[in-house]
Amino acid sequence: MTEDLRLRRARGALGFCFLAQGVAFALLVTRIPAIQDRYGISDALLPAFLAAVPVLAGVGSVAAGRLARSVGPAAVLRWSQPLVLLSLLGVGAGRTLGHAAAALAVFGLAVGALDASMNMLGVSLQHGYGRSIMLGFHAAYSLGGIAGASAAWAAAHWHLGLPATYLAAAAVLLPGILAAGPLHTADRPGPPPTGRTPQDAAGTGGFRPLLPLCAVMTCAYIGDATVSNWSAKYVLDVLGGSEQLATLPYNLYMATTLAGRAVGDLGVRRFGAAAVVRAGTVLAAGGFAVVAAAPGPWAGMAGFTLLGLGLCVIVPQTFAAAGRLYPQSSDAAVARLNIFNYAGFLIGSPLVGALGDAWSPRGAMLVPAALVLVTLLYARSFGSGGALYGVPHEQPRVGDVGRGRDRL
């Protein structure tokens, strides 16, 4: 098999895994009311259940970083993604509160390992291609999220129970996941791409050079959590929209996230990662400002549209930047960076809710805007000029798709 064909097959396989993960996660979060009803979880207890998932996902991400050094990220991906689907089935099929807690715990741990290993392999493949492809993987995740949310709506509309819904999803996704497993790139060492060597990064500060990217990741997910948790309530209660209109902001956000990621790699190749991240940051902050100042629901919709176009580029490029910063230690860098995905998710929703109650809902929307602007302070962490694979923004494809296992 030629190197180019192997890379293309690995890219397609990983893209399907991102899509499948988007479907699975959407099927969980969009059916939370049904899960709450099935197990009799009280409103007081529900936040503890929901918070436990990202906390355990952080633990799973750390474990994935350690496992990847010994067995490789492809192996971690091959076992963690089926486990996500099986634990989702467990969430839907359990009978007692203990069953729900155990299934959600396994789901959280497996999701953390899966998110980390997928992004490890995405960074590796981007090195192999020698040009930006990371946004395309995250576009597949967004597409899966839209598909999963649509499937959840259909299941609720047709009164399909949780066991049947989750069993159908597993039946559709699991064969593709198992077929994709052998196509993931083999773990083998190779020369680092152009840029800092691992000795340059690790020897002059260890984990410290990654901290700016950790801050960017946290702030981006605070913004994302604000949209996912508060957009409907904001349109309904603050902007005076109807219940039907209140369902639109998140859908618009997801659609524009998908659109932005679908074309974002072209922008990175043309203008460089730092320029694209700066533009996305300004768009996202502007979107929050429009939402905060909106006189009515339709102006608010315009703000959420800008938010999707802006935030969508930041997270994928943050993972890619970590891979360039630690070219032979990228697995460990990605695993550590991924923890701050869940930190932002945990902070975002309660932060905006508390500020909305203590100050004002409109004022609260300006806080994630200010936090997102932190990215501008650290834009140089994404590279000066190109994507650092060549000059100015690309290099010819190379065969290095191996994973570095050095410690940071």
Query: Residue ranges of the domains in the chain?
Result: 1-188, 190-392
For 217-235, b/e burial (b = at least 16 CB within 10 A) is bbbbbbbbbbbbbbbbebb
Q: Which two tokens stand for residue 41?
A: 């979880």
pLDDT computed for residue 113 by the predictor: 98
Residues in CB range of 377: below 8 A, 6 or more apart: 212
CATH annotation of 1-188: 1.20.1250.20
pLDDT computed for residue 192 by the predictor: 43
Output the CA torsion 240→223→260→65 (10° steps). -150
> Would you call the peptide bond into 392 cis, given omega within 30 degrees of 0 as the criterion?
yes
pLDDT computed for residue 328 by the predictor: 81
Separation CA 243–CA 240 (nearest Å): 10
Question: Where does 187-246 have alpha helices with state H?
Answer: 198-203, 211-233, 243-246
User: In tens digits, what is the pLDDT along the chain, a chain of 408 residues?
Assistant: 566 888 999 999 999 999 999 999 999 988 998 999 999 998 889 888 888 999 999 999 999 999 999 999 999 999 999 999 999 999 999 989 999 999 999 999 999 999 999 999 999 999 889 899 999 999 999 999 999 989 998 998 899 999 999 999 999 999 999 999 999 974 443 444 444 444 444 434 467 889 999 999 999 999 999 998 899 899 999 999 988 788 889 889 999 999 999 999 999 999 999 999 999 999 999 999 999 999 999 999 999 999 999 999 999 999 999 999 898 889 999 999 999 999 999 999 899 999 999 999 999 999 999 999 999 999 988 975 544 444 343 444 443 344 444 444
Separation CA 118–CA 11 (nearest Å): 11
pLDDT computed for residue 208 by the predictor: 85
Q: Which amino acid is at 334?
A: V
Please choose, from the candidates 337, 108, 388, 94, the residue with its C-alpha nearest in 3D space to the C-alpha of residue 211.
337
- Based on its alpha-carbon atoms, the radius of gyration of the chain, rounded to whole angstroms, reads 20
Q: Which two tokens stand for residue 195?
A: 């840029």
pLDDT computed for residue 384 by the predictor: 57
What's 190-392's CATH class? mainly alpha
pLDDT computed for residue 3 by the predictor: 66
pLDDT computed for residue 190 by the predictor: 41
pLDDT computed for residue 331 by the predictor: 93
Separation CA 154–CA 152 (nearest Å): 5
Are domains 1-188 and 190-392 of this chain identical in fold? yes
Q: CA 189 → CA 250, 323, 336, distances in Å?
A: 42, 14, 21
- pTM confidence score: 0.89
Residues in CB range of 133: below 8 A, 6 or more apart: 11, 122, 125, 126, 265
pLDDT computed for residue 33 by the predictor: 87
Contact between 225 and 344 under an 8 Å Cβ cutoff? The reply is yes
Residues in CB range of 271: below 8 A, 6 or more apart: 393
